[in-house]
Amino acid sequence: MRFGFVLPNLGPLSGPEALIRAAQHAEALDYHSAWVADRLLYPVAPRTPYPATPDGSLPEYFKRCLDPVEALTFAAAHTRRITLGTSVLNMPFYNPVILARRLATLDLLSAGRLRVGLGQAWSADELEAVAADPKARAGRADEFVPVLKAMWGPDPVRFEGRHFRVARSIVGAKPVQRPHPPIYMAGYVAGALRRTASVADGWLPATVPIAAMSQMAPQVQALVRQAGRDPGRFEIIYMAGAQVTSGPLDEAKRSALCGSAAQVRADVGRLRDLGVTEIIGWSGGDTLDALLESLARFRETVG
C-alpha cells in the first residue's frame, strides 16, 4: 500500500513557502506521492451544489486556488523522489493538445515523476466560464485520453476525431515515462466507469464511503476485465480527508480515514482488501505548522 497527500495549492496557506515545505516534508516522511486539485471559480451564488458537503456549500478554501500544473512544476523543482499527481484536472477546462505539451514538459522537468488524474467537472458556473457544452462532455472525454496518448507517442503524430484533430505533425515535447505517464480518471456513473476501465491506468475516487467502495471497486474491476485488460495492472487510488484524533470517534458519524490511530488503520486495511493500491489523504490546519504536523501524524499511523 502506498500513501500520498494533497499539496496546499488551495486555500489561504497556498503559496511558495507552503508548497516547498509541504512537498519536502512529505518526501522526508517517505510519502510516495503529492497531489494538487483544480478549481477555477468560487461562484458567489453557485448554481450547482458541491457534491462533497452535506448542504452542497462550497468550502471556504476554494476561494484561493493556484494553477495545478504550475504548482506541481514548482514542487518538482524543490523535490527529488516524490511522484507528482493531479487530482484532478477537469477535462472540459482544457484543450488536450495544449495540455499534453504542458504535462510532457512537467514530466521531463521532474525526471519522470508525473501522474495524471482527470475528471469531468461538476460546476455549471465553471463550465459556462470556459464555454464548455455540458452535453458534449462525454463525447469529448472519450477522445481526450486518446489525444494525450497520441501526442505523447511516436512522431509523426496524427489524430482524427469528432472533437479534436491533429494534422500529421512532429511534436516537440515528449514525456520521460514511456509509453506515457500513468493516467487515472475520476468518475462514478456507469459511462464514466466504463471509460475509466477502457482507457485509464487506474480509478481515482474521492470522498466515497468505504461501504460504497465495497460495491463500486468490484464493479470497476469487472469492467476492466470486460475491456480485455488485466485488473492486476489497474490501480485503484482512494482519496479522502485524513485526520488522526487522540481518541476514537463515533463509528456512525465519522468519515473514512478520520478517527483514532486504530480506526484509521482499520480503514486502511478494509481499503487494501478492496484492491486499493494507494491512499491519498488531505489534511486541514489553520497554519502551515499544523498541516505539517498532521502529515507526520498520518504517516506515522499508517506505517
Which helix or strand (DSSP H or E) is residue 116 part of? Answer: strand 114-119
Q: Is pLDDT of 284 > 80?
A: no
Percent over 70 (pLDDT), the chain: 100
What would the pLDDT profile of 250-270 be if each residue is shown by its tens digit?
999 999 999 999 999 999 999
Distance CA 134, CA 24 (A): 39
pTM of the model: 0.95
Residue 210 C-alpha from the chain's centroid: 18
115, HSE (Cβ side, Cα atoms, 13 Å): 22
Domains of the chain by start residue, with CATH: 2-302 (3.20.20.30)
Position 285 confidence tier, pLDDT thresholds 50, 70, 90: confident
Residue 110 C-alpha from the chain's centroid: 18
What would the pLDDT profile of 178-188 be if each residue is shown by its tens digit?
999 999 999 89
What would the pLDDT profile of 80-120 be if each residue is shown by its tens digit?
999 999 999 999 999 999 999 999 999 999 999 999 999 99
Give the Å distances, CA to CA, from 274 to 18, 222, 235, 264, 278: 34, 13, 11, 16, 11
What would the pLDDT profile of 56-75 be if each residue is shown by its tens digit?
999 999 999 999 999 999 99
- Long-range contacts: 244-248, Cβ < 8 Å, 24+? 244/294, 244/297, 244/298, 244/301
